[in-house]
Amino acid sequence: MVPHLHWHVIARFDWDSHFPAPVWAAAQRPRAAQPEDALQARLPAMEAHMRQALAQWAG
C-alpha cells in the first residue's frame, strides 16, 4: 500500500438544499428546482468545452 491523499471535490452552491451542511447530511430546506435545472441545462456545453480542452492536451 502506498500512502496517498485522496480528495473528493464537490461543488457547492448557496441554493443547495444541504448548504452549508455536508452533502450527506439531512437537507436544511426544500430543493430549489429552478437554479438546479438552469445548471443542468448548461452541462452539455460545459462538458463539450472540457472535452475540447482536454483533447488538446492528449494530442
Closest of 24, 19, 25 to residue 8, by C-alpha: 24
Whether the Cβ atoms of residue 50 and residue 44 lie closer than 8 Å to each other: no
Mean pLDDT across 30-46: 92
Mean pLDDT across 28-57: 93
Mean pLDDT across 36-42: 93
Mean pLDDT across 13-19: 88
Cell of 23: 452533502
DSSP state of 29: S
What is the structure's pLDDT at 32?
Answer: 85
Closest of 19, 38, 37 to residue 29, by C-alpha: 19
What is the structure's pLDDT at 55?
Answer: 94
Whether the Cβ atoms of residue 17 and residue 31 lie closer than 8 Å to each other: yes
Mean pLDDT across 49-53: 95
Q: Kindly tell me if the per-residue pLDDT of 1 is higher than 90.
A: no
